Chains A and B, each alone.
Chain A
C-alpha cells in the first residue's frame, strides 16, 4: 500500500503512539483488502462498546488511549451492556456496571457521540450518495452499502476506531464500484422477517465480499434489517445488490431445504421462557407497528424490547411506550439482545425471538436455547 510522507511518519511513530497504532491497524486492514492507498472518510461507527464483549482487556485499552486519542470525524457508537435508567431492575453485578461506565467515559473523552445504537442508519441523517464511511457494526455496514448507497468496508472494531482517529480508511474493493460474482436466487414463497434473516445468514455463508439477490419483491424495514443482521452474523459479505447480476455470475438457490437447514441449526427450543425483540434494535417505525399489533392484547410472559435512546424518547412523546408497557413489555435503550448480560442462562433456559442475529449470539455467547418465530406468530402465541 502506498502511504503519503505524512502517513509514513505517523506509522514510524513520529506523531505519537496513538497515531502509530492507528496507522498500523490501517496498514494491516489495507493489506487484507488489497487497498492501494488510504482515503478520507466522513463518519465512523464503532463497535466494541459492551463490556461483555471487550472485557477487561478492552476496557483498559480504551482507558489508556482515551488520554491522548481524539476522533477526527463524526463518530457514533454501538450499544453497551445495559440501560442505566433501569439497570437496578436486573441483577447485574457492580463490577460490570463500573467497567461499562468506564468504557462509556473513555469513548466520550475521545469525542465520540454516545448513541449506543446498532442502527445508526435509522437515527442519524444519511450523507449524500457515495459518501465514504467506516461502519464496524456488521448489520449497519451492510445496510449502509446496500440500502443507503454509502461506501464502507465491513470494518472491525479496531479498523473503525483507527479510521475515527485518523479520518482515513483503506481504499478497499467494497469502497469502489465492484460487482458481485454470485447470485442467490430466492425461492421461498411468502417470506416474513425470519425468512429474510435466514436468507441473510445463508448469503453470508456462501457470499464473499458482495452478492446479488434475485427473486425479491418489496421488503419492509423490519425485513431489510433482518436480512442485514443475518448476513453480518455468518460471514464476511458486506453488501448485496437486488437483481440477477451479470449473466456469468454463479447461481445458488435459497430454497425450502436450505432454509430448513439454517432453522435446524439455530432453533433449539420449542418455546421460550421470555421473548426478545430488537436485534438489530427497533426503530420508531417498528415500535409504532408493534404498538398497533399489541392493541388490546398483553404478553403472557416477559418481553424485552431493545431500541436506541433517541427512539425511546420519541416513542415516549408519542405515547407508544405507555402502550407497550401496558402490554407487558420491558423497554430497554442503549443496549441490545446480542450479548446482553441481562439474559443469563442461570435464570433463563430459552428465549423466543424473530432475530437470526439475536439467535446466533444468544445460543453461542449467552448459552441459552432459542425458539425462532416471526413477530406475527409471537403475537398470536404469546399474547392474550
Chain B
C-alpha cells in the first residue's frame, strides 16, 4: 500500500537494506553510521541517502535518534519503507524528513546506487534519473 506520511521532495542516491532498522542504539547519532555488526548496512552511513528499508523496529526512543541525526546534519534526505511504523513516522514528522511507504513490487525495484527523485506532490512519486 502506498502512503505519504511526511510530505516533501528529495533527490539523491538509494541506500537500501532488506533488514529492518532499530534506530535506538544501532545508528550513531552524530555520524549516521550503522553500528550493529549483524546489520546489512554495518559501518555504512545513512547520511544524505534516500534510505530504503522495510520498517523500523525496537525502542520508541528511536524517534529522537532520527531527530538527532537530522540536527547533526547526518540524516537521510528521505526514507522509503515497505511498512509504516510509529518510531520512523513520528521521528520523520518532527525532523521534517519526507517519508513514504511503497508496495512490495516497488520496493523490489529500488536498488543501491540508483539516483532517484522522490516528490510527494508529483503523480509519479518516484522518478528514476538514470
> By the criterion CB–CB under 8 Å, are B60 and A28 in contact?
no
CB distance from A134 to the nearest CB of B (A): 11
Give the residues in chain B near A364, CB-CB below 8 Å. 22, 25-26, 35-36
Interface contact A28-B58, CB-CB below 8 Å:
no
Interface segment out of the listed A232-240, A305-313, A317-325, A371-379? A232-240
A339-B25 contact given A31-B84, A48-B64, CB 8 Å threshold: yes
Interface of A: prevailing SS: helix
Known interface pairs A58-B67, A156-B89, A365-B25; A31-B3 also in contact (CB < 8 Å): yes
Pick from A28, A58, A365: contact of B90, CB under 8 Å: A28
C-beta contact mask, A160-190 vs B, less than 8 Å → 1, else 0? 1010000000000000000000000000000
Cβ contact within 8 Å between B60 and A156: yes
Q: How many residues of A contact B (CB 8 A)?
A: 45
Q: Does A125 belong to the interface (CB within 8 Å)?
A: no
A25 and B94 form a contact (CB under 8 A): yes
- A-B Cβ contacts below 8 A, count: 129
Residue contact B60 to A160, C-beta cutoff 8 Å: yes
Cα distance A365–B59 when bound, in Å?
12
Contact status A157-B25, CB under 8 Å: no
**B110 at interface, CB cutoff 8 A:** no
B38 contacts partner chain A, Cβ-Cβ < 8 Å: yes
B103 at the A interface (CB under 8 A): no
- Least CB distance from A339 to B in Å reads 7
Within 8 A of B (CB), among A23-57: 24-25, 27-29, 31-33, 47-48, 50, 53-57
Q: Which of B56-98 contact A (CB under 8 A)?
A: 56-65, 67-68, 70-72, 83-87, 89-94
In the docked arrangement, what's the CA distance between A138 and B5, Å?
22
- CB-CB under 8 A for A233 and B93, given A155-B86, A157-B64, A364-B36: no
B residues in contact with A25, CB < 8 Å: 90, 93-94
Complex alpha-carbon distance, A53 and B66, angstroms: 11
Count, chain B residues at interface, CB 8 A: 40
Q: Check B60 against A236 for contact (C-beta < 8 Å).
A: no
Does A83 make an interface contact (CB < 8 A)? no
Distance in Å from the Cβ of B130 to the closest Cβ of chain A?
31
Query: Looking at the complex, which one of B3, B68, B91 makes contact with A156 (CB distance below 8 Å)?
Result: B91
Q: Is the CB of A29 within 8 A of B89?
A: yes
Q: A335-377 interface mask toward B, CB cutoff 8 Å, 1 = contact, 0 = none?
A: 0001100000000000000000000110011000000000000
User: Are B67 and A47 in contact (CB-based, < 8 A)?
Assistant: no
Separation of A136 and B60 alpha carbons in the complex (Å)? 6
In the complex, how many angstroms separate the beta carbon of A169 from the nearest chain B beta carbon?
Answer: 11
- The CA-CA distance from A27 to B84 in the complex, in Å, is 13
B86 near A33 with CB under 8 A, answer yes
A158 at the interface (CB under 8 A from B): yes
Residues of A within 8 A of B61 (CB): 47-48, 50, 53-54, 136, 157
Asked whether A153 is an interface residue with its Cβ less than 8 Å from the other chain, the reply is yes
Q: Which of B55, B84, B89, B92 has the most CB of A within 10 A?
A: B89
Instruction: Check A265 for interface membership: any CB of B closer than 8 A.
Output: yes
A236: which B residues are within 8 A, CB to CB? 55-57, 83, 85
Contact of B29 among A55, A160, A233 (CB under 8 A): A55
Interface residues of B in 1-36 (CB under 8 A from A): 3-6, 22, 24-26, 29, 35-36
Pick from A136, A153, A160, A162 the residue with the most CB of B within 10 Å: A136
Specify which of A21, A55, A138, A162 is in contact with B60 (CB 8 Å cutoff): A138
A145 interface residue (CB < 8 Å to B)? no
- Residue numbers in A under 8 Å from B29 (CB-CB): 55, 57
Interface string of A106-119 (1 = CB under 8 A from B): 00000000000000
On chain B, the residues within 8 Å of A55 by CB distance are 29, 64, 68
Kindly list 6 other residue pairs between chains A and B, CB separation below 8 angstroms, not including A29-B86, A338-B59: A31-B89, A48-B64, A55-B29, A154-B86, A157-B61, A236-B56
Q: Would you give 22 A-B contacts (Cβ < 8 Å), ordered by A?
A: A24-B94, A28-B93, A29-B86, A31-B89, A32-B85, A32-B86, A48-B61, A48-B63, A55-B68, A56-B71, A57-B67, A57-B68, A58-B68, A138-B60, A153-B86, A155-B86, A156-B86, A159-B86, A162-B90, A233-B58, A339-B25, A365-B25
Complex A-B, nearest 7 residue pairs according to Cβ-Cβ distance, in ascending order? A32-B84, A28-B93, A158-B90, A365-B25, A57-B71, A32-B89, A57-B68
